[in-house]
Chains A and B, each alone.
Chain A
Amino acid sequence: MARLACGKVSGIGLVLAASFFPLAGQAENLPNGFREGIRKKLENLPPEERAQAMARVRKTAEANIARQPTAVLPQNVETIPIRATAGQTRLPWGGKPASPHPLTPDHVSKAYAQQAGSLAPAITEEQFIRRVYLDAIGHLPAPADVEEFVKSRSSNKRAELVDRLLSLPQFGEHWGKYWADVFRYRATNQNANRISVYQEEQWLADQINSNRNWGEITSAILTAKGLDQEAPAGFFVAYHEGEAVELAGEAARVFLGTQIACAQCHDHPYDPWKRDQFHEMAAFFGRTDFRIRKDLMDQKGARFVLEVGPSLRPQQQHRKPDLKDPSQPGEVMQPVFLSGQPLPLQTSDEQRRTALATFITSPNNPTFAKAYVNRMWYELVGYGFVEPMDDLSPQRPVRQPKLFDELSASFGQSNYDIKAFFRAVVLSSAYDRATTQRGESESSEEVLARRPSRLSAPEILANLEWVLGAVDAGARDLASRKASPRRKFEQVFGYDPSLLSEDVEGSIPQALLLMNNPLLEQRISAQAPGTLLQKLLKTQHDNAGIIDMLYLRVLGRMPTRQEKATCEASLRSVDRAEGLEDILWALLNSTEFVHQF
C-alpha cells in the first residue's frame, strides 16, 4: 500500500513542488482538473504518509534543480515560470540578455578584430566571389560574373553581391540540403534516405527562403504531427521512427550542441550529464509515435504514407530501462528539460513537445543560439569556437569566447534571423581571411585560420553540371536502378556535415567516378555537339584563351602563369582537341575542384 502511494505521488512530483519553489509556482496554469486530482490524491493519503510523500517530492525537486550543470545551461532558469498549456507556443519569458549589438558586418568585424590576434591576410576579390557563391548558393560563379565583380569599382560591391545571392531561391535550396543532411546522416531509420515522402529539403528551403527564423523552424520540426504530406516537418520524428531516446539525443545535439546520447545507458564519462537527465529529456518524446499508415496507402494508392503524432496509447510514458533487470518495465520518467524545468507526467504529446520546443528556443536559453552560431561559424569562417561543432561540452576549450558570446547574443537578439546572420558574417573581416591548412607545427594563432574543406555532394554535382551541362537528366551511368542520379551521386560523395572537415576524406569510388565515368567523358569531349569544349573551339582560336576559360569555368579563377605554361606545353605534341579534353579532365580531377577554401 505504501509503495503504491509513493509511486503515485512521485508521478505528480514537481507539480506539488510548486508550493516550495518559485520555479514551479505556476500550478494554477495547469489544465483544469489537474490540480484538483492531485489535491484529492493527497487528501486521501493518511497524514503520516502525506508528509512522507511531500518530503519525497521536495527532495526530487531539489535534486532536479541541484543537478543543473554549468556552462551549457540557460542562465536565468530559476526565474522562468513554467507554463506549458496546449496550443501555447510562445511563453512570456520576460527579461532579455543585456543589450547585445545588432547583427551587422561592422559589429562582427569589430568583435572579431578584438579577439583574433594577428589576422591572416585578406583574400582577393576573385577568391571572395568563389567562396561566397559556394557558401550562399552552392555552386561556382559564371566567368562573366567573376570578371565583372573583379573589375567593379563600387565600394559596396560585396554587399550588393551578397544581397543578390540572399534573394535567390538557391540560397534556401542550398541550405535546405545542408540541414536535411545534418538530420539524415544520424537517422536511426536506415531507410531515411528513402523517406523522400516528406520532401524535407523543399520544406527547409521554403522556410529559409521566406526567412522564417531558426527558432520557428526548430519548433516546427520538434512539434510536427500529422500525415507526411500535410506535415513535412515531421521528417525528424520519422527519421528516428518516433523513438524517444534517439529523438532526445538528436534534438540535444543539433539544436543545443549538447551530446547527451551516451547518457542513455550510463552517466556521461566527462560531462555532467546523468542517466536520469537523459531519460527525463527523452520523456518529452515519451508519448510521440511514428506509424506507417498501410490503410491509407491502399486507399490513396501512394507508395508510402507515414504519420507522426501522439501515441495511440494515451497513457504511454517513457520509462528508463532497468539495467540490472531489464525484464522489469523500468522507471516512469517525468519530462524535465536539461536545465531543470519539469513538466507534469499527465501532459499530452502535444504539450510535451510544445514545451520542449519552447524551452529549447527560449531567448533565455543561450545554448540554442550558440549551437547555431558555432555550427555556422564553422561552415562559413572555417573553424569552430568549439570543436566538434555539435559538442559544446563545458569540458572543451572555447576559442575566442568573448566573440562567441557576443555573436550568440546578437543572433538571439535578431530573433534567430538566418539571413541576417549569414550577411553579417560573410561581409565581415572574419570571412575574407586566406586559407591555410592546419598542421601540427602551427602556432595557436594560425589554427584559427580557415582551412580547406571538401565540398558537399550537392555542391560537387552542381559544379559538374555547371561545367559540363546537366548530368542529372537521363544520366543512366550515374544512376543505379533504384536511386535517382542525384541520390546515387550523393551516396558516393555525401558525408555527414557535422563532421570536422579534416575527418571528411575522399574515397576511391569518388575518384573513379570523376576519372572514368562514361557520361562525364562524353561531356568532356570536344567533338560531341553542344559540349563546353566544342563551343569554346568554335569561338576561341588561341589555346591561351581557351585555357583561361577552362580555369574560370572549372575552378572559378584564372590560371597562374606556371599553370598556363604547363597546359600549353601539354598541347604541343598532341591533337589539339584531345589535348584540351585532357586539360579539362585534369581540372575536373584536381583537388581544388572538390574543395572550398
Chain B
Amino acid sequence: MFDKRFERRCVMAMYSMSIARVSGRGDVSRRTFLQGVAAGVTGLGLGLQDRLALAADQLRSQGKSMIVLWMQGGPSQFETFDPKQHSQCKSIETAIPGVAISEHFPKTAQLMKHWCLVRSVTNKEGNHQRASYQVHTGYLPTGGVKHPSIGALVSKEIGPASSDLPSFVSILGPSQGAGFLPINYAPFQIADPERMPDNTQLPVDENRYARRLKLLSKLERGSFERIAPGDVADHQKIVAQAADMVRSKRLKAFDISNESPKTRAAYGETPFGQGCLLARRLVEEGVTFVEVQLGNWDTHFDNSDRVAGLAGQCDPGMSALVQDLVDRRMLDKTLVVWMGEFGRTPKVNARSGRDHFPKAFSMMMAGAGVPGGQVIGRTDDSGTSVEDRPVQVTDLLATFCDRLGIDPKKENVGPLNRPLKIVDGGTPIV
C-alpha cells in the first residue's frame, strides 16, 4: 500500500515536470520544468526526455477515469442518504452494520461496502446556477473568469493525448464547459443514451468526405479568417474532431444495443439507467470523464412523491453501474461520484416540499481506491448543521484529483495570464 502510494507520488512528480512537453498550451508547470532543468536535474541512465515521456505514458496508461452521477436540482439528503426522524420515508439497514439509508435505495444498501458516504458536505451557495458552477469547478462564478469544470480538468490531465473519441462526455445534461481551457476539453453531449449520437453516419463515401474536408479547410483560409482568426481556428478544431469521431472504429462504444437485454434491464429501463450503462461502455473504451444527469430533484413541492419516483430511477442505475464495474475489475480505476448542487431544508414547507439548503448535505463516492463501507461526517438530529468533519466543495474536488493521480495544486493559465490552481485549497478526505 505504502509502496504503491510512493510510486504514484514519484510518477506524479515526474509527470508534473513532463507537462511542458505533453500538453503544450497553458501550463505554469512549464516554469517548474525549466527550473528543474536549470538546476541541473539529470537522469541516471535514461535521458531526461525519455524519462519524462515514460512518466507521462505511465500515468496515462493507468487508464483512470471518473463517472459523475449528477443529481440536478439538489436532492434531499433526508430521503436519500441521511435519514432523520422527519424524513418523509422509512430508513433501511445497509450491508454495513449501523449505517441506514432511505428505503428508496434498497439496491444501493446492498452495495454499501463499495460506497463511501459523506454526510457532512457544507457550502453557502443556494442558487442552482451558482452552486452547480461551484461544485463543478471549485470556484464561485465571478463573471470575469470562466472556470473549467472538473470534467474538462480531468480530461486535460489524464485523458489520452490524442483520441478519436471525446474525452469528456455528458449524458442527459449539459454539465459545465471547458471554461478557459481549449475547446477540445468541452463536454460532448448525449441527449438520448438509447440512440447513437445523431448524425454520425458518413453522408458520402470516405474518399469524398476527405475531399470535402480538404476543400473546407482551404476555404476557411479565406476572407473570414482575417476577421476572426480565433473563431476559425476553434471551428476547424471541432470539425476535425467530429470528422475523426465519425470515422473511428471505436464509435460503436456509443451503441448500447450491443448489450444483452439482461444487462440493460439491470440498469433500469429509464434514460438515467441506460445513461449509466452507456457511461460504463464509454469508460471501458477509454473515455476519461463521463457525467450522467438525473434532473428534477428541485422538490419545492410534493417532495415525498417526487423523490420516491426519482430514487426509483437512480437506485438501479447507480447500483448496476457499481456492480458492473466490480465484475469487470474496473472499479479500482474508475471513480464514481453521486452528488447534486446542494441539499434541502430540514423543514417541510407549506407545499409539502423542501427548499434549497447548502449548509449540510450528503454525497457518495466509490472506486479508484476510495475505501468503501464508511460514512464520513455527521449532521445533528434535525439535519440542520454538521456536527462532525465538515467537508467543503474544494475538499471534495481535491479528493477526486488525489484519487485520479492529479496534483490539485497544479496551475492552469487563465485569462490575463493569471495562474489558477486546479483546486484552490481543499484537502483530500480519504
> Which among B13-21, B89-97, B221-229, B322-330 touches the partner chain?
B221-229
Chain A interface helix/strand/loop/mixed: loop
B202 in the interface, Cβ–Cβ < 8 Å? yes
B300's contact among A243, A511, A574, A591, by CB below 8 Å, is which? A243
B residues 363-380 near A (Cβ < 8 Å) are: none
Total residue contacts A-B, CB cutoff 8 A: 186
A372 to B215, CA, bound (A): 43
B130 in the interface, Cβ–Cβ < 8 Å? yes
B111 in the interface, Cβ–Cβ < 8 Å? no
A506's contact among B166, B215, B234, by CB below 8 Å, is which? B234
A44 in the interface, Cβ–Cβ < 8 Å? no
A582 in the interface, Cβ–Cβ < 8 Å? yes
Closest residue to A395 on the B side, CB-wise?
A: B143
Contact call A186/B246, Cβ cutoff below 8 A: no
> Which among B49-57, B100-108, B120-128, B282-290 touches the partner chain?
B120-128
- Cβ contacts under 8 Å, A513 to chain B: 198-199
Contact call A582/B228, Cβ cutoff below 8 A: no
B241 in the interface, Cβ–Cβ < 8 Å? yes
- Cβ contacts under 8 Å, A323 to chain B: 359
B430 in the interface, Cβ–Cβ < 8 Å? no
State the Cβ distance, B146 to closest chain A Cβ, in Å. Answer: 6
Contact call A589/B216, Cβ cutoff below 8 A: yes
B residues 190-218 near A (Cβ < 8 Å) are: 191-192, 197-204, 208, 211-212, 215-216, 218
State the Cβ distance, A471 to closest chain B Cβ, in Å. Answer: 13
Contact call A582/B212, Cβ cutoff below 8 A: yes
- Cβ contacts under 8 Å, A590 to chain B: 216, 219-220, 224, 235
B305 in the interface, Cβ–Cβ < 8 Å? no
B199's contact among A191, A327, A516, A567, by CB below 8 Å, is which? A516
B residues 164-192 near A (Cβ < 8 Å) are: 166, 177-178, 183, 186, 188-189, 191-192
Please judge, given known A-B contacts A391-B143, A512-B197, whether A265 and B204 are in contact too, CB under 8 Å. Answer: no
B224's contact among A243, A313, A503, A591, by CB below 8 Å, is which? A591
B229's contact among A437, A477, A574, by CB below 8 Å, is which? A437
Contact call A512/B242, Cβ cutoff below 8 A: yes
A259 to B229, CA, bound (A): 33
B88 in the interface, Cβ–Cβ < 8 Å? no
State the Cβ distance, A278 to closest chain B Cβ, in Å. Answer: 10
Interface 1/0 per residue, A560-597 and B, CB below 8 Å: 10110011001000100010001101110111101101
State the Cβ distance, A216 to closest chain B Cβ, in Å. Answer: 29
Contact call A515/B239, Cβ cutoff below 8 A: yes
Please judge, given known A-B contacts A190-B295, A585-B212, whether A511 and B239 are in contact too, CB under 8 Å. Answer: yes
B215's contact among A434, A582, A595, by CB below 8 Å, is which? A582
B219's contact among A269, A480, A567, by CB below 8 Å, is which? A567
Contact call B246/A516, Cβ cutoff below 8 A: yes
B227's contact among A316, A436, A521, by CB below 8 Å, is which? A436
A residues 502-524 near B (Cβ < 8 Å) are: 503, 505-513, 515-518, 520-521
- Cβ contacts under 8 Å, A592 to chain B: 222, 224
Contact call A586/B219, Cβ cutoff below 8 A: yes
Name the residue among A324, A329, A477, A515 with the largest chain B CB count within 10 angstroms: A515
A591's contact among B198, B218, B228, by CB below 8 Å, is which? B228
A residues 296-324 near B (Cβ < 8 Å) are: 313, 316, 321, 323-324
A512 to B248, CA, bound (A): 14
- Cβ contacts under 8 Å, B130 to chain A: 261-262
A491 in the interface, Cβ–Cβ < 8 Å? yes
B384 in the interface, Cβ–Cβ < 8 Å? yes
Contact call B215/A570, Cβ cutoff below 8 A: yes
B429 in the interface, Cβ–Cβ < 8 Å? no
A439 in the interface, Cβ–Cβ < 8 Å? yes
Please judge, given known A-B contacts A507-B188, A570-B215, whether A326 and B127 are in contact too, CB under 8 Å. Answer: no
A259 to B142, CA, bound (A): 11
Closest residue to A311 on the B side, CB-wise?
A: B350
Closest residue to A391 on the B side, CB-wise?
A: B143
A117 to B359, CA, bound (A): 50
State the Cβ distance, B385 to closest chain A Cβ, in Å. Answer: 8
A149 to B214, CA, bound (A): 34
A471 to B238, CA, bound (A): 24
A428 in the interface, Cβ–Cβ < 8 Å? no
B231 in the interface, Cβ–Cβ < 8 Å? yes
A520 to B198, CA, bound (A): 13
B residues 235-256 near A (Cβ < 8 Å) are: 235-236, 238-239, 241-243, 245-246
A327's contact among B140, B177, B220, B347, by CB below 8 Å, is which? B347
With A326-B359, A508-B241, A509-B198 given, can you name 4 additional A-B contacts, CB distance below 8 Å?
A313-B350, A506-B183, A506-B234, A513-B199
